[in-house]
């Protein structure tokens, strides 16, 4: 009997989902640690990128400012090179299924799990006068964001890994009761630039909410401001451009420069061997300015055409809603709810 030879089937592309909150400043850390890497991801995965504006309201927002920041965040995704024809780019609140599934998953998420979430503890400490229920339960909404689209991988920074882990736990619990409903996602963390640190307190992540204006680089900062901030960046007394244990400041600057200049950390150390911090900090600033220049210019151009952004947002929401609707129909049928 002759062997039957069949053509190899193409490997199914993985589904990836990630998002950013439109909460004001878009930082160098956001760009390097997340959005910059998404550009490469769209070549290997079927991607959905979301403006997570529903998560933002766990902290009080000015409505007009939130809308403006949502436009800017969407423009930032486009400026980073994400193609709306190849990916689904959408605003979370324009797809009602996120809120629907969020409530269902609230009922399959344990109080103890939510109590252990480090971001709840951090945000509660910073917003002691507004520790609301949404702040406590938003990991279930984040799980809904992921599970609605059967995402295989979720590109996140190190500080968000815990949210993917609880989404995995929720999915496994639901599947254990009702059968195979959700895909159990995996976190996808970049090997470089996964966590850009503060320029003022380099033991901590660069944060848009940092009260120190010199701690954070915004992608919309003027070149002269970027130079000034890097010149003031905290280093140490050793005055050598070389990585080392406990050398948080110089480790951070080497990481930033290696990414902005397209070099390995080892090459950076070789380039600046025998040179001081002053020269190095200026070079870091110049490399960052050039890396961000096309991004910043493209974003400003897009924000001048709100009608175009509205059109793309509607199209993205329609595409996302079609996928989400299939998941919600299955979920409601499993739990016995009418739809």
Beta carbons of 155 and 41 less than 8 angstroms apart? yes
DSSP H or E run through 161: helix 161-178
Which of the residues are catalytic? Answer: 123, 205, 208
Task: Tell me how far apart the alpha carbons of residues 139 and 13 are, in angstroms, rounded to a whole number.
Answer: 27
Q: What is the pLDDT of residues 6-21, one digit of tens each?
A: 444 557 899 999 898 9
Position 84 pLDDT exceeds 80: yes
Measured on CA atoms in the order 198, 204, 210, 211, is the torsion positive or negative?
A: negative
The per-residue pLDDT for 129 is 81
In this prediction, residue 130 has a pLDDT band, given cuts at 50, 70 and 90, of confident
Task: Tell me how far apart the alpha carbons of residues 272 and 56 are, in angstroms, rounded to a whole number.
Answer: 42
The per-residue pLDDT for 2 is 40
Average pLDDT of the chain is 90
In this prediction, residue 1 has a pLDDT band, given cuts at 50, 70 and 90, of very low
Q: Which residue has the higher pLDDT, 161 or 25?
A: 161
From 93-97, 135-139, 165-169, the region with the lowest mean pLDDT: 135-139
The per-residue pLDDT for 4 is 41
- State mean pLDDT over 317-325: 98
Number of CB atoms found within 10 A of residue 323's CB? 16
Predicted TM-score (pTM) of the model is 0.84
The per-residue pLDDT for 197 is 93
Q: Which residue has the higher pLDDT, 222 or 128?
A: 222
Task: Tell me how far apart the alpha carbons of residues 76 and 31 are, in angstroms, rounded to a whole number.
Answer: 9
Q: What is the pLDDT of residues 241-250, one digit of tens each?
A: 999 999 999 9
Give CA torsion, residues 298, 304, 307, 311, to 10 deg.
10
Residue bearing tokens 């797809």: 95
The per-residue pLDDT for 194 is 59
Percent of the chain with pLDDT over 70: 95
Written as six digits, the tokens of 91 are 């605003």
State the angle between helix axes of 133-147 and 97-106 in degrees (0 to 180), rounded to the nearest 10.
110
Q: What is the pLDDT of residues 177-208, one digit of tens each?
A: 999 999 999 998 766 555 789 999 999 888 87
- State mean pLDDT over 113-124: 80
Architecture of the domain whose range is 223-301 = Orthogonal Bundle (1.10)
The per-residue pLDDT for 225 is 95
Report which DSSP code applies to 303.
T
- SS3 letters across 214-244: CCCCECCCCHHHHHHHHHCCCCCCCCCCCCC
Does 14-188+306-335 carry CATH code 1.20.140.10?
no
CA 132 centroid distance within chain: 23
Domains of the chain by residue range: 14-188+306-335, 223-301
223-301 has the same fold as 14-188+306-335: no
Percent of the chain with pLDDT over 90: 70
Position 5 pLDDT exceeds 50: no
CB-count exposure of residue 243 (10 Å: 0-12, 13-18, 19+):
middle
The per-residue pLDDT for 37 is 76
- State mean pLDDT over 110-120: 86
Task: Tell me how far apart the alpha carbons of residues 71 and 77 are, in angstroms, rounded to a whole number.
Answer: 10
């Amino acid at each position: 009997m002759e062997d039957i030879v069949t053509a190899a089937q193409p490997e199914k592309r993985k589904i990836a989902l990630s998002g950013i909150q439109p909460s004001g400043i878009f930082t160098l850390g956001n760009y390097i640690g997340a959005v910059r890497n998404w550009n490469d991801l769209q070549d290997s995965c079927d991607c959905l990128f979301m403006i997570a504006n529903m998560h933002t309201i766990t902290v009080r927002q000015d409505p007009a400012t939130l809308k403006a920041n949502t436009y800017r965040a969407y423009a930032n995704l486009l400026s980073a090179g994400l193609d709306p024809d190849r990916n689904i780019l959408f605003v979370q609140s324009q797809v009602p299924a996120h809120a629907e599934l969020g409530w269902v998953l609230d009922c399959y998420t344990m109080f103890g799990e939510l109590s252990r979430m480090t971001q709840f503890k951090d945000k509660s400490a910073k917003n002691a006068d507004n520790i609301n229920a949404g702040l406590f339960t938003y990991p279930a909404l984040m799980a809904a964001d992921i599970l609605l689209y059967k995402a295989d991988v979720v590109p996140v920074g190190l500080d968000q890994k815990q949210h993917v882990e609880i989404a995995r736990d929720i999915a496994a619990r639901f599947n254990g009761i009702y059968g195979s409903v959700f895909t159990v996602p995996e976190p996808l963390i970049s090997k470089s630039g996964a966590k850009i640190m503060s320029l003022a307190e380099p033991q901590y992540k660069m944060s848009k909410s940092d009260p120190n204006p010199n701690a954070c680089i915004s992608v919309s900062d003027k070149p002269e401001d970027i130079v000034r901030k890097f010149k003031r960046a905290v280093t140490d007394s050793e005055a050598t451009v070389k990585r080392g244990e406990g050398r948080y400041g110089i480790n951070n600057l080497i990481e930033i420069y290696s990414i902005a200049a397209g070099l390995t950390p080892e090459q950076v150390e070789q380039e600046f061997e025998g040179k001081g911090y002053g020269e190095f900090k200026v070079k870091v600033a110049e490399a960052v300015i050039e890396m961000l220049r096309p991004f910043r210019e493209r974003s400003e151009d897009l924000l001048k055409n709100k009608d175009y952004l509205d059109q793309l947002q509607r199209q993205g929401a329609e595409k996302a809603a079609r996928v989400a609707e299939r998941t919600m129909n299955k979920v409601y049928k499993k739990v016995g709810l009418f739809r």
